[in-house]
Amino acid sequence: MKRALALAEESIGLASPNPAVGCVIVQEGRIVGEAWHEYQDRDHAEVRALAQAAGKTAGASVYLTLEPCSHFGRTPPCAHALTSAGVRRVCVAHVDPNPKVSGNGIQQLRSSGIEVELGLMQAEAARVIEPFACHVTTGLPLVVGKAAMSLDGRIAASGGCQGWITSQEGRDFGQQLRLQLDALLVGLGTILADNPRLTYRGALPRARNLTRIVLDSSLRTPPCACLFESSNSAPVVIFCRKDAPVDRQRELESRGAAVVRVDHVQRGLDLEQVLGDLGRRDLLGVLVEGGSEIHWSFLASRRLDKFFFIVAPIVLGGKGSIPAFGGPGYPGAEAAPRFQITRRFNAGPDLVLEAYPAFSRSILSPWRGPDRT
């Protein structure tokens, strides 16, 4: 199963909008077939592994990170393919959260006389499919926040930060998150201050272009922004309020952007409508990189599922420096949302904290308890 999970991780960045899946087939103690899923190749990991095993599947054991599908989609059901191959035993790490499957694939295998074991390394398998699970059960993408900050929780010095706060290793970790998720979201303030390209620059391949998203109520994004230099290959979606200038919309659309008008609420643009639109685009997960006011709006509206605090060993200080979360803040500790820190690790000299708020929708949320099947 460890090998199957390693293969599933190879699928990250290549499988979306399908889940990342790994499969290993063992015959008499030897691996005879193994594969991961790539969306562009259509065939699921099970079918690719069976093809590699080439006739050595009778009586074999199969290790799967995710329950085999039981319905016709882009391909025939994998549960049927395993049954037809004559395998004896299937070990499944995680039940498919897709309501079209959700136990049906396991039931089909058992009805055919195949021994099925469920739950081995389930938590590790859940991590691989975390964005998919959120999207397939809610219709909305998993929302992951990320902020690079100083020890005192500041993301920029007074008047703007000169240079990087975190190390190269910390920034490399940010690229890993861009690989794992389908979209990257920032506010207008980040566009005006940094003029970023918002592209994926990691070493590992990704098949689906990263969708760049800007929350810009009045459509003040400059048409000459670096964001548009690669808009043909990496989509740009700009959300604005319904009364934003039409001429600005036309100008931005001429640069390749898709402009979407949503309602304006007390905290800014209606994030429920924003995430609903992204979900309909089959974006499984969105990485929110700020700035400060955007992080606050997602937190205050309870639209945040997970947050990575990347903390550099420096102190910026100053009353005018920018906090990771802006906005009016909470009146006191009792009103503040609670987080649980699930992982702590280093990225070079920086400390990375993975934390889930109490209202997280993730299957990995520690607030949901140990049974996530």
Strand partners, 187: 215
* C-beta of residue 321 within 8 angstroms of C-beta of residue 168: no
Amino acid at 57: T
CA angle 142, 220, 273 (to 5 degrees): 30
The residues facing 145 across adjacent strands are 288, 307
For residue 127, how many C-alpha atoms fall within 13 Å in the half-sphere facing its CB? Answer: 11
Q: Is 360 exposed, middle or buried (0-12, 13-18, 19+ CB in 10 A)?
A: buried
Residue 229 falls in the annotated catalytic set? no
SS (H, E, C) the chain: CHHHHHHHHHHCCCCCCCCCCEEEEEECCEEEEEEECCHHHCCCHHHHHHHHHCCCCCCCEEEECCCCCCCCCCCCCHHHHHHHCCCCEEEECCCCCCCCCCCHHHHHHHHCCCEEEECCCHHHHHHHCHHHHHHHHHCCCEEEEEEEECCCCEEECCCCCCCCCCCHHHHHHHHHHHHHCCEEEEEHHHHHHHCCCCCCCCCCCCCCCCEEEEECCCCCCCCCCHHHHHCCCCCEEEEEECCCCHHHHHHHHHCCEEEEEECEECCEECHHHHHHHHHHCCCCEEEECCCHHHHHHHHHCCCCCEEEEEECCCCCCCCCCEECCCCCCCCCCCCCCCEEEEEEEEECCEEEEEEEECCCCCCCCHHHCCCCC
Catalytic member of 38, 46, 67, 293? 46
| Backbone dihedral region for residue 133 (phi beyond 0: left; psi -120 to 50: alpha; all else: beta) | alpha
Catalytic residues: 46
